[in-house]
């Protein structure tokens, strides 16, 4: 989905890669390293990860190399899921002590391989709980065994179902309380596909995603004009300097608008079906924020 890529930003201090805690005094990191996906990694787009992956001491997984130790990050013949593991100290701008203050923004990432979710959306508190409990992303061929050519929607509640010993609503309530208590803005970022689904569209530009995130984090994005997406009820910015306006609304990136509408409606139905199991345990506000087909 891009967690490691987006957190490795030369303009910001890196607290950690994956697992963090949030207390009443700030956020903190549980881990001492990064686990980056490196298939077709470029030094131009992701210089910090590229440099760290090529340093002595990095542990490589499924990466093809020659007898001289030269890596071929373009080679996905074994699997698309090639990885590099390296200590945080390989990143030059880490936050000393792995700690930071209270977050002003909460960003949830999804990789929508159907190409119908916007690159960034501003979420209400209720929408944030809905998307946190839904945990939507999509899997594509080559990343896991048994996947066919078509993308597969997957809903991993709280974006981490295998790691949760308690009911998801417990974690949803924890996050909801922290967001309310500290007044954080919430965002949904799609790092998946645009201009069509996987196989016909193209991956979201890292450059555009970074620009949108930067605007969200510095507060400028919250001040622009938004419109509401008719399928998912998401608030989409109409314009932002540095990002083509047509990219912000995913329907505008599809040549075949009818195909977009069909694909979006299909994903809406998947969201509805997935959330049926939560309908009895969430607030009326969260139920009202749920994605549902138009009557």
Residue 206 has pLDDT above 60, yes or no: yes
**Chain CA centroid to CA 232, Å:** 17
| Residue 188, pLDDT score | 98
pLDDT at 145: 57
Give the tens place of pLDDT for each residue, 105-155.
999 999 999 999 999 999 999 999 999 999 999 987 655 555 556 789 999
**CATH number of residue 85's parent domain:** 2.170.8.10
Any domain includes 294: no
Same domain, 79 and 138: no
- Quick one: pLDDT at residue 150? 76
Mean pLDDT along residues 45-71 = 95
Name the residue with higher pLDDT: 60 or 241. Answer: 60
Of 70, 100, 130, the last residue of a domain is 100
Residues 278-289 pLDDT 10s: 988 899 999 999
Instruction: State the sign of the Cα–Cα–Cα–Cα dihedral 204, 205, 211, 214.
Output: positive
Mean pLDDT, residues 242-249 taken together: 93
Cα angle 189-190-191, degrees, rounded to a multiple of 5: 115
At residue 281, the pLDDT reads: 84
The percent of residues above 70 in pLDDT, for the chain, comes to 97
Q: Can you tell me the distance from the alpha carbon of 6 to that of 120, in angstroms, rounded to the nearest whole number?
A: 14
Query: By the 8 A CB rule, do 184 and 105 touch?
Result: yes
In this prediction, residue 151 carries a pLDDT of: 83
Indicate if 268 and 217 belong to the same structural domain. Answer: yes
**Domain end position, chosen among 100, 133, 152:** 100
Please check whether residue 234 is in contact with residue 267, taking contact to mean a CB–CB distance below 8 angstroms. no
Of 39-48, 102-111, 139-148, 192-201, least confident by mean pLDDT is: 139-148
Residues with Cβ within 8 Å of residue 212, at least 6 apart in sequence: 119, 120, 189, 221, 237, 240, 243
Range of the domain at 127: 105-289
**Of the ranges 80-84, 138-142, 207-211, 224-228, which one carries the lowest mean pLDDT score?**
138-142
- For the chain, the domain total comes to 2
Does the pLDDT value for residue 203 go beyond 90? yes
Please name which of 247, 269, 246, 266 lies closest in space to residue 258, comparing C-alpha atoms: 266
- The pLDDT value given to residue 10: 86
Helix axes 257-275, 125-134, angle to 10 degrees: 80
90 lies in the same domain as 124:
no
Max mean pLDDT range (13-22, 183-192, 278-287): 183-192
pLDDT over 60 at 67, yes or no: yes
Residue 21 has pLDDT above 60, yes or no: yes
87 lies in the same domain as 158: no
Residue 294 has pLDDT above 90, yes or no: no
Tens-digit pLDDT profile for residues 76-94: 999 989 999 999 999 999 9
85 and 191 inside one domain: no
State yes or no: pLDDT of 95 exceeds 60: yes
Mean local confidence (pLDDT), 249-271: 97
Give the closest residue to 76 by CA, choosing from 113, 50, 37, 111.
Answer: 37
Residue 278: give its domain's CATH number. 3.90.228.20
217 shares a domain with 117: yes
Give me the chain's average pLDDT, please: 93
Can you tell me the distance from the alpha carbon of 222 to that of 202, in angstroms, rounded to the nearest whole number? Answer: 27
């Amino acid at each position: 989905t891009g967690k490691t890529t987006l957190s490795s930003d030369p303009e910001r201090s890196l607290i950690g890669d994956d697992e963090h805690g949030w207390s009443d005094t700030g956020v903190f990191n549980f881990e001492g390293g990064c686990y980056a996906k490196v298939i077709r990694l470029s030094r131009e787009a992701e210089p910090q990860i590229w440099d760290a992956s090529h340093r002595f001491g990095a542990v490589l997984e499924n990466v093809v190399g020659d007898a001289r130790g030269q890596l071929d990050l373009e080679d996905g013949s074994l699997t698309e899921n090639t990885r590099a593991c390296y200590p945080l100290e390989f990143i030059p701008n880490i936050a000393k002590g792995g700690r930071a203050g209270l977050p002003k923004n909460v960003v949830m990432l999804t990789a929508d391989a159907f190409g119908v979710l916007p690159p960034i959306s501003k979420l209400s508190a209720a929408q944030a709980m809905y998307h946190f409990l839904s945990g939507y992303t999509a899997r594509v061929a080559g990343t896991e065994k048994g996947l066919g050519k078509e993308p597969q929607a997957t809903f991993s509640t709280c974006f981490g179902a295998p790691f949760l010993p308690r009911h998801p609503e417990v974690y949803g309530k924890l996050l909801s309380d922290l967001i309310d208590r500290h007044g954080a803005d919430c965002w949904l970022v799609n790092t998946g596909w645009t201009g069509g689904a996987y196989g016909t569209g193209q991956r979201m530009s890292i450059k555009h995603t970074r620009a949108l995130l930067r605007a969200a984090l510095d507060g400028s994005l919250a001040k622009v004009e938004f419109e509401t997406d008719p399928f998912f009820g998401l608030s989409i910015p109409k314009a932002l300097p540095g990002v083509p306006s047509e990219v912000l609304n995913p329907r505008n990136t599809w040549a075949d608008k009818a195909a977009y509408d069909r694909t979006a409606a299909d994903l809406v139905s998947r969201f509805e079906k997935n959330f049926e199991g939560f309908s009895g345990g969430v607030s009326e506000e969260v139920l009202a924020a749920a994605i549902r087909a138009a009557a």
